[in-house]
Structure 1
């Protein structure tokens, strides 16, 4: 337990290599502790050692099939390698054993968005926003889902809220440009494309959007 506590302290301080060393020592004394494997998996994932991290999560689940954190961590690994269907299965398993927090709703929503299951994505991302109104990623992807569902007014509101919290969010400006262009409000669209390029000069989609607005205006 002393090694475990040292590992937790090191992890919270951001000293991941030191934390891994302590957790390995703890596992020598308690090789059947599922929580240790879950924490080790989290540390290895942060270090980019995904294969080893997944093995730790799987071992944690073998020892305790109600280890929600292990399911969630395995889901994150699958999501990072763009295996969205597998990630969704892991996240749903985490939920089935009792996990119910903002990050889980966010990641389920992200999977559903990537899989083009828009109604499910919208419900989950909306819940994530409700649980943490300051999470700009959740609100941004909620806006993307609304826009993709052709709920343009609602999408505009979501993107404007993101910008209200982070004026430098280039992609929120870009998507506002797209939303206003779809409404044939070309002046507003051009303003947002210009702002995007001011924030991120190499944003080629905004540059293309700007050309499309000018072409539509000329016509």
Structure 2
């Protein structure tokens, strides 16, 4: 979200637009004052009906409220005003993604990238559309790009590590999961996946250690509990 807000600010400055009402609307959104945010965005649109940024901001507000049908209309209206409005394509992609229409989301994220939106978020979302369609190999370069662009985003770093594992790049997956733990020591899923990697490398002690750590952090972690149970049964036999 922060990256996209930054992109909008850049566009507003570049176009010489009065940022006041849009900026106030964004601040109200951050405070969860959605009705007031809608008021500011509406005024911005009324004052500049040919400017796409008002529609993009309003679309993002509607998307946040899960009003997908209206959000789609606002993003499409922004694209009608400016067919090169990269953040409108990104917003439209998120609208489809949230509705699990990953193929259509993919089209919009790709268009956003082609129109110059070079943020970690859009590469991450593009990669995740492939993940949800079981195309992990196609997801990998986008998730790698996102991980390089934002080394401190835990979700991005974890999903990249998971994708590496799914592509059977075990050594790099292990390094990536350890990187996730450097960012968040109590990441139960990273511990679980390191346990699976340890099993793959036939290191039962390390696997059991990571499964136990995952369960200590998240006692209801079913995958870790099942992995631990199966490993203990194997060791007992």
Q: TM (normalized to structure 1)? A: 0.93
| 2:218 maps to 1:200 | yes
| 2:20 maps to 1:5 | yes
Among 125, 141, 163, the residue aligned to 1:107:
125
The CA deviation string for residues 70-91 of structure 1, in whole angstroms up to 9 with x for no partner, is 1001111211222111111110
The CA deviation string for residues 112-159 of structure 1, in whole angstroms up to 9 with x for no partner, is 222222232111111111111111111111111111111111111100
2:64 aligns with: 46
Say which SS state the counterpart of residue 48 (structure 1) adopts. Answer: coil
Give the whole-Å Cα distance in 2 for the aligned partners of 1:60 and 1:111. 23
CA contact (8 A) 2:85 2:115 kept: yes
Structure 1 segment 35-114 matched on structure 2, within 5 A? 35-114=53-132
Structure 1 segment 137-148 matched on structure 2, within 5 A? 137-148=155-166
Structure 1: runs of 5 or more not aligned:
none
Give the whole-Å Cα distance in 1 for the aligned partners of 2:234 and 2:98. 39
CA contact (8 A) 2:22 2:54 kept: no
| 2:47 maps to 1:32 | no
**What is the Cα-based RMSD across aligned positions, in Å?**
1.7
Greater alpha carbon shift after TM alignment, 102-111 vs 25-34: 25-34
Give the whole-Å Cα distance in 1 for the aligned partners of 2:118 and 2:25. 27
Tell me how far 1:19 sits from its aligned partner: 1.7
CA contact (8 A) 1:8 1:19 kept: no
CA contact (8 A) 2:25 2:41 kept: no
Tell me how far 1:189 sits from its aligned partner: 0.9
Q: TM (normalized to structure 2)? A: 0.86
Tell me how far 1:21 sits from its aligned partner: 0.8
Give the whole-Å Cα distance in 2 for the aligned partners of 1:204 and 1:129. 28
CA contact (8 A) 1:102 1:127 kept: yes
Structure 2: runs of 5 or more not aligned:
1-16
Tell me how far 1:49 sits from its aligned partner: 2.0
Tell me how far 1:57 sits from its aligned partner: 0.4
Q: How many residues align?
A: 218
Say which SS state the counterpart of residue 98 (structure 1) adopts. Answer: coil
Give the whole-Å Cα distance in 1 for the aligned partners of 2:84 and 2:21. 25
